[in-house]
Amino acid sequence: MRASYTFNVTPSLPPRLERLRELALNLRWSWDHETIALFRRLDGGLWEETGHNPVLLLGKIRQEKLEAASRDEAFLAHMDRVCRSLDEYMAEGGWYAGAHDDVEGLKVAYFSAEFGLTECLPIYSGGLGILAGDHLKSASDLGVPLVGVGLLYQEGYFRQYLNADGWQQERYEDNDFFNMPVTLEKHADGKAVKIEVRYPGRAVTARIWRIQVGRVPLFLLDTNVPENSPDDRAIAGRLYGGDIEMRLKQEILLGIGGVHALAALGIEANTYHMNEGHSAFMALERIRRVMEEKGAPFADARELTSAGNVFTTHTPVPAGNDRFPPDLFLKYVSHYADALGLSEKELLALGRERPEDDNEPFCMTVLALKLAAKRNGVSKLHGRVSRRMWRSVWPDLPEDEIPIDSITNGVHFRSWISKDLADLYDRYLGPKWMEDPTDRWIWDSVENIPREELWRTHERRRERLVAFARGRLKEQVVQRGGSRAEIRAADEALDPEALTIGFARRFATYKRADLILRDTERLAKILCDRERPVQLIFAGKAHPRDNHGKELLRKIVHLIRGKELRKRVVFLEDYDVSVARYLVQGVDVWLNTPRRLLEASGTSGMKASANGAINVSILDGWWWEAYSPEAGWRVGNDEDYDDRDYQDTVESNALYDMLEQEIVPMFYKRDSNGLPTKWISLMKSATRLLCPAYNTNRMVHDYTEKFYLPCYFNWKDLGEEEMARAKLLAQWKKLLRSAWREVTVKDVTVENGTELRVGGRLEVLARVALGSIPPSDVAVEVYHGQLNALGEIVEGRPTRMEWREQDGDGGHVFRGYVPCIASGRNGFAVRVVPTHQDFGRCYEPGLIAWK
């Protein structure tokens, strides 16, 4: 029976406790141990029962407990202290206000399909969402003027459980937004703020919710409203749920609806960050709005809006990027062709690597690449992989010059470091480790922490992890109807003093969760050594449609249920932020074994290292640039084998050798006080080396300095005086495209021979035909470097040539020099690229000529 009327009931707080509501609705509590302790103090059992949800806790707690707390002087003093801390935090400007007090007007809109902020907001699936949540938290800490935009999913991501055979099952639970730390955005008259997004044959209505993340607001769209049909109410139903058509509907809502939402809220963002390609339709809607508001043609509006767009790609394999069949794309988005003054073919070309191919699907990543001014991968190695993946978008550029940069991911320390270790850092590093975790001098003070204090703190956290794991295992056994013997076995699983290895991430086959299980006989000898026991804790979810991942998970569960491994290896179901926190804070070793070049970054290892765990990882993602013998261990080298089975054998054996010969002996070698001195030294050096670099404060600082501010200034310059410079830039590019067929490098001559010494230079003359394009609009360059066995230039670099004279045939002579830096076989080519006195070098597809 559906309700005829709805109303909302809020907790009845005594006046003295009224500010608890405010504390609950600002997610700063999720990274402030004192605020969490305050809510635990109200009712510790209920805090756990509600999944660490302070809003639900306040709604379910007995009124007499609230009344008692309102008269408890100690509780009130604690609450007042927490409130003062929040007030001070909200009033401060942060790093940005001090570093850029002369900048007015920057407003960044950060779009992401998922945000992993805390376990009581299950609107994330894994690393992408956790990274987005940590990005907002550090933007808040740094005071960067940023707002988040996403979707509020009615069911979020699935809850995981395993059946008796070990096969993953999915359970979806409704999110009760009115009992979560979110608030509905309303007009002054109390009515919800709503927007409409165009879909085939109808408009879909969405309301807007706010999550306050410290100083940063996050706005989320929800289509579960009475105005919509049942099918449309489900658009924001499940994260990554449904078929490809549902994915397209969700990405329209996120990208286009997200821009509508900011406008409805009166937020004038000027720099837009697309976290992965899911939100790339935002770029089309920005262009449409400028065309409508300014009366500008598509080309002018594209130059203006693209100047303010940032795009981060996270996916190192082509199959992981969203692509839509042309017919399906046009069914939903063809009206943008009319709105933008384009043909359907021209609209589709914006999302195609090969625009002339009418059968190529529309790719969201390509759309984002083409309509962004700044683009990046999420580690140095991933930047290289991305440039290789997307070189077809810039077919005439050498791979090293593909305009995709890299900013390595990080993690938000205050969200992940345990309270007892944070207290230790406070005592020996001072409070600045939280305020400015990028300061290397601060982390050098880790060496001042007494060995015994550090080790005892770590041991307590391992004990907590084991206690948590046993409790979770018992729940799992009871849920699937296990026997009493199985329940008793859960109580005996794991050893709080044993070397503990954690492996927790999405169960995709390329992550190779089973690499360490490849030789179970050899592994059993390592794990079951009575004098030096080792134990493994696995966690992670397979995507609901990834049967290969589910089969891998099932295979692992069957292996660890064997008699030999049962007490030493466990799998914790329903991996989420809470489970992750216990793991990264309690394990001794964090294991990561992806197939090389398929891990874009990986941030779980960063969380573990901040907590004193040692990384043991394949050289991929962040570990490729972070690894040193003082920071942890590497599995294998940079080798890649065509035979994957052989590679798995080589790397699993290397892992076993490392465990047997280095890791286990180091952990169990104790001094007269029972301390593993070499292990503790490794913990300290890893913390000292890794923490300053692999945190989101450094990451958001890099985005701000390298991307946000340059984009903002460029957007501002192009938009001044009725878009005068944007119009000039669009006109200039149009003239270049129409005349570029006349550009050729007619001939190249070398003036001083082909045998030179290191330190010398090769003089080069080039005769270039430019047609109607003036020499000031191009850069003629010598692209030079050492040659590989195939005669290809490796890691080339351009050197600009100078205009010398005009020849008798209407061409132009340019002279340049190639520096002889290294001995061996070198080579060069001459190229022409557009350049503008105001806009610099222009890497436009199709606008480059080589000889």
The 3-state secondary structure of 704-727, one letter per residue: HHHHHHHHHHHHHHHHHHHHHHHH
- Letter for the amino acid at 380? K
Q: Which of 130-139, 276-285, 325-334, 785-794 has the lowest mean pLDDT?
A: 785-794
Tell me: the pLDDT tens digits for 250-263? 999 999 999 999 99
pLDDT at position 754 over 80: no
Q: Kindly report the average pLDDT of the chain as a whole number.
A: 94
Tell me: the pLDDT tens digits for 146-160? 999 999 999 989 999
Alpha-carbon torsion angle 561, 567, 572, 578, nearest 10: 180
CA proximity to 359, closest of 387, 389, 386, 329: 329
pLDDT of residue 319: 83
CA proximity to 283, closest of 300, 308, 316: 308
DSSP run (H or E) holding 344? helix 344-349
In order of 302, 773, 798, the CA distances from 732 in angstroms are 14, 10, 24
CB neighbours of residue 137 within 10 Å: 27
pLDDT of residue 566: 83
pLDDT of residue 482: 86
CA proximity to 207, closest of 180, 229, 187, 230: 187
Q: Which of 124-128, 140-144, 404-408 has the lowest mean pLDDT?
A: 124-128
Residue-level length of the chain:
851
Cα separation of 585 and 612, whole Å? Answer: 8
Alpha helices by DSSP H, listed for 561-613, are 577-586, 604-610
Q: Are strands 202-213 and 216-222 parallel, antiparallel or unpaired?
A: antiparallel
Q: Which of 341-355, 560-574, 710-724 has the lowest mean pLDDT?
A: 560-574
The sign of the torsion formed by the CA atoms of 576, 579, 584, 588 equals negative
Cα separation of 41 and 634, whole Å? Answer: 43
Q: Using 50, 70 and 90 to split pLDDT, how confident is the model at 808? A: confident
362-378 exposure pattern, b = at least 16 Cβ within 10 A, e = fewer: bbbbbbbbbbbbbbbbb
Q: Using 50, 70 and 90 to split pLDDT, how confident is the model at 755? A: confident
Contact 487, 477 (CB under 8 A): yes
Which residue in this structure is represented by tokens 């006349």? 742
DSSP run (H or E) holding 147? strand 146-151
pLDDT of residue 561: 82
59-71 exposure pattern, b = at least 16 Cβ within 10 A, e = fewer: bebeeeebeebbe
- Three-class secondary structure of residue 508 per DSSP: coil
615 forms beta bridges with 590, 632
pLDDT at position 678 over 60: yes
Backbone angles phi, psi at 670, to 5 degrees: -110, 150
Tell me: the pLDDT tens digits for 254-305? 999 999 999 999 999 999 999 999 999 999 999 999 999 999 999 999 999 9
pLDDT of residue 5: 57
Tell me: the pLDDT tens digits for 612-643? 999 999 999 999 999 999 999 999 988 888 89
Contacts of 379 by beta carbon, 8 Å cutoff, 6+ apart = 406, 408, 409, 600, 601, 621, 622, 624, 625
**What average pLDDT score do residues 13-20 get?**
96
DSSP run (H or E) holding 365? helix 364-370
- Letter for the amino acid at 723? M
765 forms beta bridges with 749, 815
Q: Using 50, 70 and 90 to split pLDDT, how confident is the model at 9? A: low
Q: Which of 64-78, 440-454, 663-677, 809-823 has the lowest mean pLDDT?
A: 809-823
pLDDT at position 7 over 60: no
Contact 420, 457 (CB under 8 A): yes
Give 499 or 562, the one with higher predicted confidence. Answer: 499
Q: Using 50, 70 and 90 to split pLDDT, how confident is the model at 241? A: confident
Cα separation of 372 and 369, whole Å? Answer: 6
Q: What angle do CA 89, 94, 95 make, to 5 degrees?
A: 160
The sign of the torsion formed by the CA atoms of 478, 483, 485, 486 equals negative
Contact 591, 516 (CB under 8 A): yes
pLDDT of residue 822: 81
CA proximity to 370, closest of 275, 256, 284, 255: 284
What is the Cα 103 distance to its own chain's centre?
A: 27
CA neighbours closer than 13 Å in the CB half-sphere of residue 128: 23
**What average pLDDT score do residues 73-102 get?**
96
Q: What angle do CA 334, 337, 340 make, to 5 degrees?
A: 145
172 — alpha (psi -120 to 50), left (phi > 0) or beta?
A: beta
- Three-class secondary structure of residue 183 per DSSP: strand
Contacts of 766 by beta carbon, 8 Å cutoff, 6+ apart = 745, 747, 748, 749, 780, 801, 813, 814, 815, 816, 830, 851
Tell me: the pLDDT tens digits for 503-516? 999 999 999 999 99
Cα separation of 151 and 238, whole Å? Answer: 10
pLDDT at position 595 over 60: yes
For 77, the token pair is: 């003093």
pLDDT of residue 791: 85
> Which class for 820: exposed (0-12), middle (13-18), buried (19 or more C-beta within 10 A)?
middle
Q: Using 50, 70 and 90 to split pLDDT, how confident is the model at 821? A: confident
- Three-class secondary structure of residue 272 per DSSP: strand
